[in-house]
Chain A
Amino acid sequence: MTNTQRIETLEMRGIVKRFPGVLAVDHLDFDVRAGEIHALLGENGAGKSTLMKMLYGLYQPDEGSILINERATRIRSPQDAIQQGIGMVHQHFMLVPSLTVAENTALGMPSRWQLNLRQIARGLSELSERYNLKVNPNLPIWQLSVGEQQRVEILRALYRGAALLILDEPTAVLTPQEVDDLFVILHRMIDDGRSIIFISHKLHEVLSISQRVTVLRSGRRVDTIPTSQATKPLLAEMMVGRPVVFEYQRNAAQQSGERLRMERISALSDRGELGLKEVSLTLYGGEIVGLAGVSGNGQSELAQVIAGLRAIKGGSIWLDGVDMTTHTPRQRHTAGVSYVPEERMVDGAIKEFTVAENYILQDHGHAPYVRAGVLLNHTAIRQACEQAIHKYEIKTPTTDTPIKSLSGGNIQKLILARELAGSPRLLIAAQPTRGVDVGATEYIHRRLLEERAKGTAILLISEDLDEIFALSDRIAVMYEGRIVGVMPRESVTVRQIGQMMAGATADAV
């Protein structure tokens, strides 16, 4: 390390952070040493990001102290943190698409009168070479892939002199190959005496990359253990507070007849490009087809096309042998198409509405929720919603609670309850467990398998290959708007799917 002071040890002692009515972080101790990757593991709301925001100067702790190299330090702002050698790569990249890598790096620099982009570019190139980041400082961000953009974020933090790097869910947006590349880079960095805090909820990644792992649950530290002593079930149990199932009991698929048939579907994406290019896919009753792919390769568009929410340029869609190409979303829902959308707080739920109001989003217009032809039957609505809450183990104070005050997992369970209410013929589940905690994920997976056993055809769209492999009967891979292959799960490996996600065809892998 040349241009930075080393952080030999960083210690957070007795950290407390209160928000009105809530103890977000409760007397927490945490430490990192030079040359180690320390994984921070916990469910949503466990306090991981609150803790890291205090380290990065975005929040101030109410109690406790932060010691860098055994000297008490106050971190008042992200600028302070950067000066102390702490860098952070957020889950959502903070890059300006129209500017180059070097310009984006210059954006965060302490303001000076002069802007020497060439010098910055030179510095970036050197660092890029040293850590094998393969980033060209003169390219604009919009030309880079997601994986490259992430490397830009890392490079930028290194350029600013980060001796300690906080990575918030860094693998969420990467293909398996890109994850491997990232891990190589991270190893080089710790070999160089830097340290890394790796926030994740993917257990196998934590196990493969970190030296130590700290598990948080509801603002408290459950334990910090060397990764060599950790196992997947142990970590999951520490996170959730009870044993968690990873391998589901799956009966052999009871395939029935053809349910959904798409023929040569083409459609535009929001950017006005051809997002779907002659996609054909057939689903049978009683099977789960996993649709894998790096986000932005047409999966979302495909789901919207089936639900009737996106106009098509060509092709046809058939449900149970009936051409529904021109049907409205309402008609498709009535015919048995249910859709758990990817962006649940934008498409799947109305955040200002109550739990009960969200529960009737699809069926608010007819019996039993309407009486006398025009009036909403609030009693029936509440009863139906209470049943769903009970059946799907949704944690909510009342049916009249605004849905936005529920956790992601509980909102998702409510959406699932609503979409499964009418015994659908076809369920499209797009990223059903993204941002959902381990406990709720397990529950949602079980529900999907139950639905499969009932004979429903399920299209499972996910970027989480573990999820795809755990649930699917067949796996389809999308790349640049095309389905590049559909294979029975038993006949492919995660590695092969990963290669196809990066553009290889089924024959080549």
Chain B
Amino acid sequence: MPRPHARAWFDRLFDLFPPAISLFAALAVASILLIALNANVTDAYVALITGAFGTENATAETLVKAIPVLFVGIGICVAFRANVINIGGEGQMIAGAVAGVAVALGFGGQMAPFMVVILSLVAGFIAGALYGGLAGFLKAYFNVNEILSTIMLNQVAVQMMNFLLNGPLLDPTEAGTNHIPKTARILAEIQLPRLTIGWTEGMELFARTRLHYGLLIAVLLAVVMYVLLWHTPLGYRIRAVGFNERASRYAGIPVRRQVVLAMFLAGGCAGLAGVVQVLGLQYRLQTDGSPAGFTANAGFNGIVAALFGGLNPFGAIPASIFFGGLLVGAQNMQRDIGVPASLITAVNGIIVVFAVSSQVFVRRRRQRRLQAESPVIAKPEVVEVAPRKVEA
């Protein structure tokens, strides 16, 4: 055990820079991989950083990649706060995208463009919410493990999408050809506008990039979910159930309903990720048929972003941008240094592992310190002989 002073100093350091320290640790481990491949480590990381933030366009691309991650991450904050482990972001994204694109194609040109966009976003949210809520319902009322059900439902969603894109929703111009599975392009008037910063015509930041209004919608959603979690009785109940089901039951909170609700909201956020991806970036729903063909793994990366952001919707914002940067920078690293693509995936993975475990580590240290500082807390020494079963 280190001396008390050294320990206190280390504690303070660790509190200030937990993500930074975990990042350096991850980069150090990744360096070993790079060295093993005879790559220049410095060059590789310079390529990673410039690739992510080096130019206006790089930064814009980073933000573009961050948008769906952020949407999903916000929803994950809600689900995990209710102690529901939602691994179904992928499937919920797809559900949202399918519903959203169907509305956009079906109503496009038949009513005011603004109304179509709103309707499309609402449809995406509801579709994702129902898809997530289904897993929540199964967990709450039939005790189906939500990790299993959401992962399974991801597969169902992918296959449903593949079916729809090869049939009912297939772009009519592609019909009969050796087609790519994709829908028709949505009308230009219902595409989300590009997002620029600045007023001078032609001089705005991000003027010639793909950055779109989805970023603003996502930030707005973060505000809404933050308020919901910490400033409404609804969020209070969700968090209460997440921390302690028995005390919630004791307080008369309908526990099952909160579980369904949390999954409903989480699914809705992921659904928005899907529909915004269509309205803001791709302008059609398109896939290569693989599970991540449409989502590019945003449904999974959102989980990491939420954890990295401390399960706080606001924390998820920088965390998503960080992961967006990682995704974009990695591509650049691959191009510049010529290391195999799989290494980039490995580096990404290592950073994720370190980032997430640092969160757990910090939380545990804080807990331990709290206990040590107040010896008056009842600390059970041993688990009781017959632990009582927690009732649903």
Contacts and interface: CB of A to CB of B under 8 A. Distances in A.
Interface of A: 18-22, 24, 44-45, 47, 50, 90-95, 97, 141, 270-271, 307, 309, 328-330, 333, 339, 341, 345-353, 357, 360-362, 364-365, 369-370, 374-376, 378, 402, 404-408, 435
Given A347-B247, A404-B370, A375 B231 contact: yes
Nearest to B230: A376
A346 B378 CA distance: 12
Contacts of B375: 19, 22, 24, 45, 47, 50
Given A348-B247, A361-B247, A375-B231, A22 B373 contact: yes
A329 B247 contact: no
Given A19-B372, A352-B243, A376-B232, A404 B250 contact: no
B376 A407 contact: yes
B233 A362 contact: no
The secondary-structure label for the interface of chain A is loop
Interface stretch (B166-174, B316-324, B384-392): B384-392
A20 B8 contact: yes
Top 4 A-B pairs, shortest CB-CB distance? A330-B252, A45-B376, A407-B376, A19-B372
13 contacts: A19-B375, A20-B4, A20-B7, A21-B372, A94-B382, A271-B386, A309-B250, A361-B251, A362-B251, A364-B233, A375-B227, A378-B231, A435-B378
A348 B373 CA distance: 23
Interface in B347-376: 369-370, 372-376
Interface string B222-252: 0000010011111011011001101111111
A350 B7 contact: no
A242 B233 CA distance: 43
A20 B373 contact: yes
B377 interface: yes
Contacts of A349: 247
B261 to A, nearest CB: 14
B381 interface: yes
B374 A22 contact: yes
B250 A307 contact: yes
A379 to B, nearest CB: 12
B244 to A, nearest CB: 5
B11 interface: yes
B237 A329 contact: no
Contact of B385 (A97, A357, A364): A97
B370 A350 contact: no
B7 to A, nearest CB: 7
Contacts of A97: 385-386
A357 B232 CA distance: 12
A283 to B, nearest CB: 21
A92 B232 CA distance: 40
Contacts of A45: 374-376
Contacts of A353: 239-240, 243
A353 to B, nearest CB: 7
Contacts of B202: none
Given A364-B237, A376-B231, A408 B376 contact: yes
B380 interface: yes
Contact of A408 (B233, B372, B378): B378
A361 B249 CA distance: 11
Contact of B378 (A44, A47, A50, A357): A44
Nearest to B372: A19
A95 B383 CA distance: 11
A362 B252 CA distance: 7
A44 B376 contact: yes
A90 B233 contact: no
B385 A93 contact: yes
B11 A20 contact: yes
A361 B378 contact: no
Contact of B373 (A21, A44, A364, A370): A21
A312 B373 CA distance: 43
A407 B378 CA distance: 7
A60 B361 CA distance: 25
Contacts of A94: 382
Given A20-B8, A345-B378, A374-B233, 17 more contacts: A19-B372, A20-B373, A22-B375, A50-B375, A94-B382, A270-B388, A329-B250, A329-B252, A347-B250, A348-B247, A350-B243, A350-B247, A352-B244, A353-B243, A357-B236, A376-B230, A405-B370
